[in-house]
Amino acid sequence: MKSLILIVSFFASAVAMACPSDRLCSSDRVIDSGDNVGTVKEVFSNGQATVYLDGFGTYTRSTSALGKGVACDRHICVDDRVIDSGENVGTVIEVFDNGKSKVYLDGFGTYIRSFSSLGIQLNCSLRENCSCRN
């Protein structure tokens, strides 16, 4: 009986700890309004979060000012090959739900780019018989 209670308790706490996809939670990757990327450490009921900004340290940010890291958003996905408005080609490293992405531009390094400044590589020739994202 003790084992059954322990197992039920374990599963109940695992369910309680699940993070909804529409909310920020501890360990989420985020981007702030200054285009600094980092990891959420804590989220508070007053709409604030502590965030470790890569290379800068821990800061407090309003959750409404943070873009959450996602696999894809608005047809831009992690690992997509892209070209930016300056005709620099690179690979998307991270995508955020606020219309921004972290891109490694070949030969130049890592930059933040808005989705509107990116063109996605089409894996087909002359746009014939393409199964491209719209």
Q: Where are the domains of the chain?
A: 22-69, 71-120
Helix, coil or strand: residue 64: helix
Q: Phi/psi of residue 11, each to 5°?
A: -65, -35
Q: Is the pTM of this model over 0.85?
A: no
Cβ burial, residue 3 (10 Å; 0-12/13-18/19+): exposed
Cβ atoms of 83 and 118 within 8 Å: the answer is yes
Q: Is the per-residue pLDDT at 95 higher than 50?
A: yes
pLDDT digits (tens, 9 = 90+) for 1-36: 555 444 444 444 444 567 887 789 999 999 999 999
Report pLDDT for 84: 96
- Look at residue 123 in the predicted model and tell me its pLDDT: 67
Domain 22-69: which CATH class? mainly beta
pLDDT (tens digit per residue) in 34-76:
999 999 999 999 999 999 999 999 999 999 999 999 999 998 9
pLDDT of residue 21: 76
Answer for the pair 121, 81: CB distance below 8 angstroms, yes or no: yes
- Please give the Cα distance from 38 to 87 (Å, whole number): 27
Fold agreement (22-69, 71-120): yes
pLDDT at 99 over 70: yes
Residue 113 pLDDT class (50, 70, 90 cuts): very high
CATH of domain 71-120: 2.30.30
